[in-house]
Structure 1
Amino acid sequence: MSDILLEMKDISKSFPGVKVLQDVKFDLRKGELHALMGENGAGKSTLMKIVGGIHRKDQGTILIENSAVDITSPSAAQRLGIAIIHQELNLIPHLSIMENIFLGREFTVGRTPWIHWKRMRSEAGKYLRQLGLDLDPSMRVDELSVGQQQMIEIAKAISMDTKILVLDEPTAALTDREIDALFEVIASLKTRGVGMVYISHRMEEIFRMCDRVTVLRDGQYVGTERIADTSMDRLVKMMVGREIKDRFPKVALEPGQVKMQVSGLSQKGKLKDISFHVRSGEILGIAGLMGAGRTELAKAICGVTPAEKGTITLDGKPVVIKNPMGAIQAGIALITEDRKGEGLLLSLSVRENLALPNLDALSRFGIMERKKEDELAEDLIRRLLIKTSNGEQKVGSLSGGNQQKVVIGKWLATKPQVLILDEPTRGVDIGAKKEIYDLMNGLVSQGVAIIMISSELPEVLGMSDRILVMHEGRITGEFSRAEANQENIMHCATGGGKHVVS
């Protein structure tokens, strides 16, 4: 008897004017974690959305346990034992954890329509414990962190009788502890014969957990390799069609004068007496676990949620920033971690998104000058290598990496003196990461001061000139590039002690 759970043959799919998949093949075995890799826009999510019944294939064959199937809807996929954990959360915020887990599958008392709350609570608690979550099943989902919400999605998926589980960037918003708990669950599911597809740009995770990897490029099948028989360099070459020699192409520059000084910044329950500086031409990395206060610090500096105490100076002159407009006028720009919720208007075009923070420069007497707007969009699309049909394409239809480039582009056009990047490469493929790193190098060479917040320690270590570490709203460590390593950063990130750069 074959151990193949899922087999896809010659799958093709087009959207208006775009061929997304062409003659793609893929298979998944029982008890296997099979990585699906490729650059943003390579077709990974589209292929899995076909498996999940969200999109219909144009041609090709899908077999589940050697039987041909036509997956016409998400409910049809669910009946076949297929569950997908999407990159974007799919929860109802005002409902409880247990209501979200069993949405549409609620337990009832006998044959009555009354919900059996006690049983729902008990069953939900069982799945939460499997994931190492100490949460009350009756808590509302909007009371949870983004990482906890992601874990509820996973609990919801494993609560079904799932044979095939697709995980699309499942660890993007998780802490190290949550990632370890997830990997324990994955190992348990493998022993039960569940086949899993793992979509991720994090190479370390692929080599830590996966059995095989399939690579797509430009909507076409490139190849399948056993993880034990391949290497990071080979996978990168398969994905981008060329070698990327330096994962973190840091350019060595001598930083200039102090550009921004933050002193005694405090915010009740979030930030406690934060003081630091960043120099012109410097990349200052900020590391820490989820909930450490890194994003809160960025938002306080930029006036999104102003601090209650503390001062900020730019080039030695005090500035008072009460709102984001004040930050823009002062020359400070924030590229938020939540590009879809806070960084973009998905229903607007690439051109309109790029223009948003630059309306004053693109208007005359309060009237927008369309020619200037078009020129700005064309220039940024060309400089940032944004893959779009033109400036009028809706930004919501772009791949994650290209959406991130649009977010970066709109703030670059403001010509900031201080650029704060919060998780700049989250959900971005390795080729686009390299382009973002090259862009950062270009900015610091022009004297821009960059503050980079990242949960990926290799990125922080690879691109920073100096590193600050936060824990529970405080700075607990400061390291030069030479003395920083994962061990001493994690020591400070977990509250193990305070370290100041020598």
Structure 2
Amino acid sequence: MVRLEGIGKSFGPVRANHDITLDIVPGRIKALLGENGAGKSTLMSILSGRLAQDTGIIHVDGEAVRFRSPKDALKAGIGMVYQHFMLVDSMTVAENVLLGQSGAWLSPVHMSRVVAELAARYGLDIDPAARVCDLSMGERQRVEILKLLYRDSRVLILDEPTAVLTPGETEQLFEALHRMAENGKAIVFISHKMQEVLALADEIAILRRGEVVDEFHESEVPGEAELANRMVGREVILEVAAEPLEPGDRVLHVDGLAGDGLKGLSFEVRKGEVFAIAGVAGNGQRELVECVTGLRRPAEGEVELLGIPWRQFFTKAPRQGGLAYIPEDRQGLATCLSLDLVDNFLLTARGCFTRGPFLDRKSADAAARDILAEYNVQPGRAEAPARSLSGGNLQKLVVGREFYRKPSLIVAENPTQGLDIAATEEVWARLLEVRSHAGVLLVSGDLNEVLALADRVAVMYRGCFIGLLDRSDTNKVDAIGLMMAGVSCEG
């Protein structure tokens, strides 16, 4: 159906894609694997019309084409579902699916019937009359997929589609994707999760440094460890040893936190432990994190950091040994894309290099370069603007910057979302390592991450804790997936 032949793309001196040839076949699910910065998103942005290639040709049904915009790609039957959904919250599901379509005027009843029939055909359970603002993240994703199916897209590209889904929603998505493939659709699935790729894909292509280095059909795929090794180019250990430590001083105390969608949250975090909050995005995690990190004033209840009340702590926060925050929004909140990597390093670490009113720029530059090398941030040029980095490499810069200040309390919000397996392994190991001098509040929608790292877990649903358990409580651990969907497992 589609052939990418000799595709190349560079951004200044950075070579994102080089001489890539790839076939996309109807009725097949092709997974793209690769480290952060390997060129996966750039390649799919070219195929979906967001970027133009420098070299190479795209063939659709045997004919050479050149896409000047996503509209051209959609006309050719190629559509992409992005990690950040593009929906109008105040509109219904049916209105979002048909938004922008030309043709005769349609009544709301007819629109709902058309969308309901389309959803039923592909097993995408959704209420066409529901407003998007009332939907879960998994339901919103279904709306994005229905938009492409309504436009009769024959190739559907999904970029990290399970990042915002519960385990149950992930299973439903996979069933729908298999049904689409059975109906002749071609699926391209970008993911860093090996188990998902092995469970779903008919074909796997591995990209490394902008080139395709391996391709496998389903019957040829090696084991999970070998697949990870080929993706990274070295041996990767897929597990971390989370040995429990003796809890130390209390670094965070939250009592009766309410308002802004939160409902009486109470918990504490101590040095030597990872306290994880599990849940699907949109259930109050962001409001909680903003209260803890000083971005939002607590409406009700008490928040105490390092033994200091909230207002007093954020009036004059300590430069070192204080609070470090790894935000989920790495491009908007954590970094400034127009600044170079040294200035981005200094956004929160500048206090380590000031002497009175003066900034020791030379020392800061050297420290930033050390962080780039230690965390393998690519490309490792300190003078490069942050916008030239992939999302995963940007995240590695943020993690290195925050750990540099040796904080006593770390708030990590989906710290490995979008990271490849090698970078995830590194971040997990460092989060466990810093427990020797810090407490970690981990907020994550990735159940594997929670189970790998957490000493204690609170499951959050609609602004409250629906369950609180220790990692050793195996009976409840097995039920976390259900609890994330709002099913109480008490008793």
Shorter-chain TM-score range:
0.7 to 0.9
Whole-Å separation in 2 of the counterparts to 1:269 and 1:20: 42
Query: What whole-Å deviation, never above 9, does each CA across 1:247-302 have from its counterpart, x for those lacking one?
Result: 23234252341322524232126333322222212222222344443333222222
**Counterpart among 129, 135, 151 of residue 136 in structure 1:** 129
Unaligned runs of 5+ in 1: 110-114
Of 19, 32, 47 in structure 2, the residue corresponding to residue 51 of structure 1 is: 47
Asked if 2 retains the 8 angstrom alpha-carbon contact of 1:12 and 1:57, the reply is yes
Partner in structure 2 of residue 320 of structure 1:
310
2:3 counterpart letter in structure 1: E
The root-mean-square deviation of aligned C-alpha atoms, in Å, is 3.0
Distance across 1 between alignment mates of 2:62 and 2:341? 44
Q: Does 1:496 align with 2:480?
A: no
Q: Give the percent of matched residue pairs that are identical in Structure 1 and Structure 2.
A: 32
Q: Which deviates further from its counterpart, 196-205 or 97-106?
A: 97-106
Contact 1:82–1:165 (8 Å) recurs in 2: yes
After the TM superposition, which residues 101-140 of structure 1 pair with which residues of structure 2 at under 5 Å, given as runs?
Answer: 101-109=97-105, 119-120=110-111, 123-124=114-115, 131-134=124-127, 136=129, 139=131
In structure 2, the partner of 1:404 is: 395
- Structure 1 residue aligned with 2:146: 155
**1:387 is the counterpart of 2:381:** no
The secondary structure found in structure 2 opposite 1:196 is strand
Report if aligned partners of 1:469, 1:477 keep a CA contact under 8 Å in 2: yes
Q: CA deviation at 1:10?
A: 3.0
- Go from structure 1 to structure 2 and tell me whether the alpha carbon gap of 1:472 and 1:90 turns closer, same or farther (over 3 Å shift): closer
Aligned residues: 485
- Contact 1:6-1:63 at 8 Å conserved across structures: yes
Give the Å deviation of 1:483.
2.9
* Partners of 1:423 and 1:360 in 2: CA distance: 26
CA offsets 1:92-151 (integer angstroms, 9 cap, x no match):
667765554344423444xxxxx86665565456556663233636x4x66766555444
Q: Does 1:469 align with 2:459?
A: yes
SS of residue in 2 equivalent to 1:380: helix
Report if the CA contact (8 A) 1:7-1:25 is conserved: yes
TM-score normalized by structure 1?
A: 0.86
**Partner in structure 1 of residue 253 of structure 2:** 262
Query: By how many angstroms is 1:169 displaced?
Result: 1.2
Q: What is the 5 A alignment of 1:102-501?
A: 102-109=98-105, 119-120=110-111, 123-124=114-115, 131-134=124-127, 136=129, 139=131, 147-230=138-221, 231-245=223-237, 247-268=238-259, 270-314=261-305, 317-321=307-311, 331-364=322-355, 366=357, 368-445=359-436, 447-484=437-474, 486-493=477-484, 494-498=486-490
Amino acid at match of 2:56: G
Q: Name which of structure 1's ranges 476-485 and 282-291 shifts more when overlaid on structure 2.
A: 476-485
Residues 191 and 21 of structure 1: CA distance in aligned 2, closer, same or farther (over 3 Å): same
The offset of 1:326, in angstroms, is 5.8
Per the TM alignment, residue 190 of structure 1 is displaced from its structure 2 partner at its CA by 1.2
Spell out, residue by residue over 1:358-413, the C-alpha distance to the aligned partner (whole angstroms, 9 max, x if none): 34444455554433442342232233221134222221221121111122233234
Distance 1:123 1:62, change over 3 A: same
Q: Select between 70-79 and 32-41 the one with higher mean Cα deviation.
A: 70-79
Cα gap change, 1:320/1:45 in structure 2, threshold over 3 Å: closer, same or farther? Answer: closer
SS in 1 for 2:333: helix
Partners of 1:56 and 1:28 in 2: CA distance: 19
Q: Which amino acid in 2 is paired with 1:10?
A: G
Which runs of 5 or more residues in structure 2 are unaligned?
A: none
Quick check: 2:323–2:407 contact (8 Å CA) kept in 1? yes
Work out whether 1:66 is the aligned partner of 2:59: no
Is the CA contact 1:262–1:313 (under 8 Å) kept in the aligned structure 2? Answer: yes
**C-alpha separation in 1, matches of 2:313 and 2:211:** 46
Provide the rounded CA distance (Å) in 1 between the counterparts of 2:137 and 2:295. Answer: 19
Q: Which amino acid aligns with 1:407?
A: V
Query: Against the structure 1 CA distance between its residues 50 and 471, is the aligned structure 2 distance closer, same or farther, given a 3 Å change threshold?
Result: closer
Distance change (3 Å), C-alpha of 1:392 and 1:117: farther
Alignment check: 8 A CA contact 1:301 1:321 kept: no
Tell me, what secondary structure is at the counterpart of 2:192?
A: coil
Report the equivalent of 1:112.
none
Equivalent positions of 1:28-39 (< 5 A) are 28-39=24-35
Tell me the CA shift for residue 308 of structure 1.
3.0
